[in-house]
Structure 1
Amino acid sequence: MSNTIESSPIMDKLKYAVSFLVAFTLPMFMRLNNIVLGVYIVILLCDSIIYKRKIISITGIKQAIPVVVFFILAFGSALDFEKILVLKYLEKYWSLLLMPMLFLGQENGYETYKLKLFKGLVYGCFVTLLICNFNVIYEIISHNEPVNYFFRWRHLGHEFSKIADTHPAYLGLFICMSLYCILNKIVDFNRIVKLVLLAGFTIGMFQLASRVALLIYIIVWCIFFIKLLRREFKWVIPVAIVFITVISVFFTFGSEYLKDRVFSYDSVMKDDRFERWGVSYEIFLEHPFLGVGFKDITNERVLKYQEKGYMVAAKREYNAHNQFFEYLSLNGIVGGIVYILSFGYLLAVAVKKKQYVFIFLFGSFFVANLTESMMVRIQGIEYFALFGSLFISKFNYKNALR
């Protein structure tokens, strides 16, 4: 018989509330989110100790491998044979180790936290957009700018999102996930709330001007409309009207910067991140087996950026902006293989078990990592740790692919 003691109602309510807040603060204010995440981990640890939940077991370790392996890669990158280990490099990565173990120790963890986490993410994205738009309105008024400056370059992209201490590509990905949850009723809202959320997200996606995130967003809408029209053909005309209206508004009020940023072929093909991929690949060729690690990666990249004349990239110390090349340069061929195999496994399980929300979650995250190194920044790390842990808590590792 199990020695586990049933949690108190107060502890359960506390866990539910803080799990909502972790996802709610994920799209915004990194320090605030870090504090909430820390509190959440402490609460789950206390819950596991007080109520005698088994945090670590052989089965649990096996289940957690697809997530924990990224902490192991970070640990390997942090190794410094002169100082043995530089712990400061691991600060961002602890959630990849702790979250899977703690989730697996919770009884019915998946059913308990699924709704709280997804709903928290939806509301968090919307509030983040509100904060950014209130700032835009304030700046327009304080600088006595005309209303049509709303979609000018100074209120788009990084300029739009920096007030909330977030990155356009990351916030855009979270909004895509939120859109999927709303349209597929993973989380449900009344009609008015749903319309407000969808309108806010659609406007916000153009303000963020993140090409990959906007492409994913449009694909989600297209799939939804196709399914809708197959069920009810009467929606053809309303859908066509909405589509034409959105396109007309964009081309009427969108600035030239926004149009070029989103739709210009030249802006895509001349993106200097392609050149930065080449730099990270060169570093991999020079250190093919174990990579250069955290200690030397920045200096190695900056030197190569300077050699090739990529002065902006050198000054801002840009990362690879591609997670696969990031792991190749940091961890060598080991990192690249682990990255592909881990995501391949998670997607395979999601497909096998027909978990469509996680097919989309892992698939969209992988696509976003083609142009971003999301497992380098804490927002991306936590997003993967949180929802990856939620997913693996649903299935037993041994029979996941049966």
Structure 2
Amino acid sequence: MLTTDNIYRYSLLGVAFLLPSPFYGGVLFFLSIAGVCWITQKNHRQLPGSLYKNQVLLPALLYLYIVAGFFFSENFRVALSTLSTMLPFILFPVFIGTSPLINRKLLRKINISFLISITATLLFAVVYNIINIAATGISSVMLFDGYYHKLHSFGLTNIYYNWHPTYGAAFANLGIAILFHLYFTPKNSHTRSQKILMLCTALFLSTSIFLLDSLVGIGAYFILLLFLFIKQRKHRGYFNTTFKKILALSVLLIGIAILYINPFENAKIDSLKNKPILITDVQSERNLFTIRLAKWSVYYDIFTSEPFFGTTLGDIADIRKENYTKRGFDYLALHNYNAHNQYMEILAALGVVGLSVFLMLLFSPLGWSGVNALYFPFFIICLITFCTESVLHRQQGILFFMFFYSLYTHFNLRKNSS
């Protein structure tokens, strides 16, 4: 029988499936269905009692702070647009974070739905491009300011509209964490064929992260593997504190060595090594780090002009473009790029007050007794990705973050909950 409870559950499965795919715009459709079910189930009656929970209160406070900034913005049109863009800060914690229907069984299905989707999305891109190269004999495509191999970075994701390689790498990393969790959860028994399928999926997702060529995604991948490896061995009593420190240091040194030697001849790493560290956006002088330094230096200047409350999300785009022009960063001014750093983005637009609320939102679950196990790898992936991407200022990014944040911090899913 199709009840509102079942419709709600299917809607969340729909959100999880569409989120990592090129059809992520449909997430809001399924979320609206879940919202209607949430209201029909009269869950709004318990909402006042749920507001004291940090996983609901902190995102709500951040959104209310954004709303308050709307009244001080000079660019009314953009300010109004940001209110709708940032709605996930309030919608997901309310419709998911306060629902009594969220339980471990549903979470497992949601995780599997997400895992299938990101694997299928990347597999289709790889297979399509291999066939395309074989059929046309052309292995590269002209995008932006250069040529990309069709199995590499933007060349791989070019078959999808507005699908960024760094976000794909973040989704793949979470998929690997989900696979690890499913495989090693004691209650889950798997047949040999299921284990082989899970191993093949993990290897494919790992390969895809390198094909997507997101350095921050690759960095998050190695740190995530280290975390998952230590976590598993810790449960078996193999590691003491000293050994874990030695292992972490060894992985760090290996990572530095790989970056220095560059055995895979990664062009991004070559540009980091061969070009001097300058704050510039000039094409002949810049690389992915120096152009970010240019962005961050401008954002730092913006922050110092309004350190406590920020410029507001409505005005930050106009202000940064003006500052890019003043600093002589003509390329950045032409495209009016954001900070490509979530922390700098919030610091400039919402000030110290906004960043403080955001950091509490991120870190407070770590202090909760029995927080859901999947929050830790999710936290690692986001914490690292935020360093080079303004994730929450892209629709797919904020949907991804708030959906899984609301799930993994849900009170019903804590380890010590009945």
Range class of TM-score, shorter chain:
0.7 to 0.9
Q: Which runs of 5+ in 1 are unaligned?
A: 1-7, 234-242
**Secondary structure of residue in 2 paired with 1:293:** coil
Distance (whole Å) between structure 1 residues aligned to residue 367 and residue 327 of structure 2: 40
Superposition deviation, residue 232 in structure 1: 12
* Contact 2:11/2:34, CA 8 A, preserved across alignment: no
* Contact 1:113/1:390, CA 8 A, preserved across alignment: no
The question of 1:183 aligning with 2:189 is answered: no
The question of 1:53 aligning with 2:38 is answered: no
**Secondary structure of residue in 1 paired with 2:374:** helix
The question of 1:71 aligning with 2:94 is answered: no
Alignment match of 1:205 (pick from 200, 204, 209): 209
Matches within 5 A, 1:373-392: 373-392=390-409
Distance (whole Å) between structure 2 residues aligned to residue 40 and residue 112 of structure 1: 20
Q: Which amino acid aligns with 2:321?
A: V
Distance (whole Å) between structure 2 residues aligned to residue 23 and residue 277 of structure 1: 33
Distance (whole Å) between structure 2 residues aligned to residue 84 and residue 208 of structure 1: 37
**359-368 vs 84-93, greater mean Cα deviation:** 84-93
Match of 1:239 in 2: none
Q: TM-score, normalised by structure 1?
A: 0.79
Distance (whole Å) between structure 1 residues aligned to residue 12 and residue 334 of structure 2: 38
Match of 2:319 in 1: 300
Superposition deviation, residue 369 in structure 1: 0.7
Superposition deviation, residue 179 in structure 1: 0.6
* Contact 1:55/1:101, CA 8 A, preserved across alignment: no
Distance (whole Å) between structure 2 residues aligned to residue 16 and residue 43 of structure 1: 10
> Could you say if the C-alpha distance between residues 261 and 10 of structure 1 is closer, same or farther in structure 2, counting changes exceeding 3 Å?
farther
* Aligned residues: CA RMSD: 3.5
Match of 1:365 in 2: 382
* Contact 1:95/1:385, CA 8 A, preserved across alignment: yes
Bigger proportion of residues as helix: 1
> Could you say if the C-alpha distance between residues 363 and 68 of structure 1 is closer, same or farther in structure 2, counting changes exceeding 3 Å?
farther
Match of 1:3 in 2: none
Alignment match of 1:257 (pick from 264, 267, 273): 267
Match of 2:95 in 1: 102
Distance (whole Å) between structure 1 residues aligned to residue 332 and residue 132 of structure 2: 29
Match of 1:154 in 2: 149
The question of 1:168 aligning with 2:159 is answered: no
Superposition deviation, residue 126 in structure 1: 0.8
* Contact 2:129/2:156, CA 8 A, preserved across alignment: yes
Q: How many residues align?
A: 367
> Could you say if the C-alpha distance between residues 357 and 262 of structure 1 is closer, same or farther in structure 2, counting changes exceeding 3 Å?
farther
Q: Which amino acid aligns with 2:25?
A: N
**275-284 vs 159-168, greater mean Cα deviation:** 159-168
Match of 1:39 in 2: 29
* Contact 1:55/1:104, CA 8 A, preserved across alignment: no
Alignment match of 2:10 (pick from 8, 17, 30): 17
Q: TM-score, normalised by structure 2?
A: 0.76
Alignment match of 2:348 (pick from 326, 329, 341): 329
* Contact 1:122/1:178, CA 8 A, preserved across alignment: yes
* Contact 2:104/2:413, CA 8 A, preserved across alignment: no
> Could you say if the C-alpha distance between residues 301 and 199 of structure 1 is closer, same or farther in structure 2, counting changes exceeding 3 Å?
same
Q: What whole-Å deviation, never above 9, does each CA across 1:96-155 have from its counterpart, x for those lacking one? A: 2122112244224143531132212211211121232134224423441479xxxx8433
Distance (whole Å) between structure 2 residues aligned to residue 265 and residue 355 of structure 1: 44
Matches within 5 A, 1:199-348: 199-224=203-228, 256-257=266-267, 260=270, 270-348=289-367
Distance (whole Å) between structure 1 residues aligned to residue 71 and residue 111 of structure 2: 36
> Could you say if the C-alpha distance between residues 296 and 258 of structure 1 is closer, same or farther in structure 2, counting changes exceeding 3 Å?
closer
> Could you say if the C-alpha distance between residues 128 and 348 of structure 1 is closer, same or farther in structure 2, counting changes exceeding 3 Å?
same
Q: Which amino acid aligns with 2:15?
A: V
> Could you say if the C-alpha distance between residues 340 and 258 of structure 1 is closer, same or farther in structure 2, counting changes exceeding 3 Å?
closer
Match of 1:238 in 2: none
**Secondary structure of residue in 2 paired with 1:166:** coil
Distance (whole Å) between structure 2 residues aligned to residue 256 and residue 105 of structure 1: 45
Q: Which amino acid aligns with 1:180?
A: A
Superposition deviation, residue 173 in structure 1: 1.1
Alignment match of 2:122 (pick from 129, 147, 164): 129
Superposition deviation, residue 208 in structure 1: 1.0
Superposition deviation, residue 368 in structure 1: 1.3
* Contact 1:305/1:313, CA 8 A, preserved across alignment: yes
> Could you say if the C-alpha distance between residues 309 and 139 of structure 1 is closer, same or farther in structure 2, counting changes exceeding 3 Å?
farther
The question of 1:196 aligning with 2:200 is answered: yes
* Contact 1:75/1:90, CA 8 A, preserved across alignment: yes
* Contact 1:48/1:105, CA 8 A, preserved across alignment: no
* Contact 1:297/1:329, CA 8 A, preserved across alignment: yes
Superposition deviation, residue 45 in structure 1: 2.8
Distance (whole Å) between structure 2 residues aligned to residue 204 and residue 212 of structure 1: 14
Distance (whole Å) between structure 2 residues aligned to residue 292 and residue 209 of structure 1: 34
Superposition deviation, residue 258 in structure 1: 6.2
Percent identity over the alignment is: 22
Match of 1:26 in 2: 19
Q: What whole-Å deviation, never above 9, does each CA across 1:167-214 have from its counterpart, x for those lacking one? A: 111111111111111123278771232133112212211111111111
* Contact 2:76/2:314, CA 8 A, preserved across alignment: no
> Could you say if the C-alpha distance between residues 142 and 68 of structure 1 is closer, same or farther in structure 2, counting changes exceeding 3 Å?
farther
* Contact 1:284/1:332, CA 8 A, preserved across alignment: yes
> Could you say if the C-alpha distance between residues 51 and 366 of structure 1 is closer, same or farther in structure 2, counting changes exceeding 3 Å?
same
